[in-house]
């Protein structure tokens, strides 16, 4: 009975606090400007560059695994598919590349600034959490995780890949909120007669009378 009374009291307080008074008008909602041509093109370039890192050898292993010390996400995925590596897929890395694919699709279908900004913020958060996903890489390449003095013994380095993907998401966030990028690319309208030295003649309102006849 007490919990029911507390729930009802909380509901009444919430309605009182968050419901505008009767007769007042809600403030107008300001909609964000959609991405212009230049910002959309820059976002496409950033997303494409981020997806191309999937084929760059930005992951290192020491000691080497299967004769390779530099790995790309593409090579890792191919070895997992062929069964040479265990199916221990790093979740954070996969999530960041999926977000880049989603951003590419969003840019193709829509020019919403808010959608791109949300993807970029979520990508930054995921990329930052990825720094703590070291154990999955150790299990992927070496099949086990070893510790020394309660610290993880690191044999896999993926800092370059994390830095690149963090930079890509940061650039997308900058493009989404910087509306001045579109303003810089807008063509400036020329003022008629501003750059010409010839002045237009002024019209004089005059009346032409026939010549007077002499007697």
pLDDT tens digits for range 3-34: 434 344 444 444 444 455 544 454 444 555 68
Mean predicted confidence (pLDDT) in 140-155: 63
pLDDT of residue 71: 92
* Residue found by looking up tokens 């309102």 in the block: 205
pTM: 0.66
Q: Answer whether residue 183 shows pLDDT above 70.
A: yes
Determine contact, residues 72/54, Cβ cutoff 8 Å.
yes
Q: Structural domain boundaries of the chain?
A: 32-180
Percent with pLDDT over 70 in the chain: 63
Q: List residues bridging with 148 in a β-sheet.
A: 151
Mean predicted confidence (pLDDT) in 71-83: 91
pLDDT tens digits for range 120-134: 999 998 877 766 567
What is the chain's mean pLDDT, rounded?
Answer: 75
Helix, strand, or coil here: 171?
A: helix
Place 211 in a pLDDT band, splitting at 50, 70 and 90: low
Residue 153 CA to residue 141 CA, distance in Å, equals: 13
pLDDT of residue 207: 61
DSSP H/E element including 82: helix 73-82
Percent with pLDDT over 90 in the chain: 27
DSSP H/E element including 65: strand 59-65
């Amino acid at each position: 009975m007490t919990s029911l009374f507390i729930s009802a009291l909380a509901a009444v307080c919430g309605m009182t606090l968050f419901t505008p008074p009767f007769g007042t008008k809600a403030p107008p909602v300001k909609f964000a400007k959609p991405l212009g041509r230049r910002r959309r093109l820059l976002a496409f370039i950033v997303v494409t560059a981020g997806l191309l890192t999937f084929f760059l050898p930005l992951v290192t292993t020491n000691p080497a695994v299967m004769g390779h010390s530099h790995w790309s996400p593409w090579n890792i995925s191919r070895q997992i598919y062929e069964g040479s590596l265990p199916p221990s897929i790093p979740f954070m890395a996969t999530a960041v590349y999926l977000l880049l694919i989603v951003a590419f699709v969003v840019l193709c279908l829509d020019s919403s600034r808010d959608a791109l900004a949300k993807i970029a913020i979520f990508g930054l958060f995921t990329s930052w959490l990825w720094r703590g996903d070291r154990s999955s890489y150790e299990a992927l390449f070496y099949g086990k995780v070893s510790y020394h003095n309660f610290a993880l013994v690191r044999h896999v380095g993926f800092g370059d890949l994390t830095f690149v993907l963090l930079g890509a998401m940061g650039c997308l966030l900058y493009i989404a909120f910087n509306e001045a990028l579109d303003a810089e690319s807008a063509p400036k309208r020329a003022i008629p007669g501003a750059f010409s030295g010839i002045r237009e003649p002024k019209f004089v309102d005059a009346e032409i009378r026939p010549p007077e006849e002499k007697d």
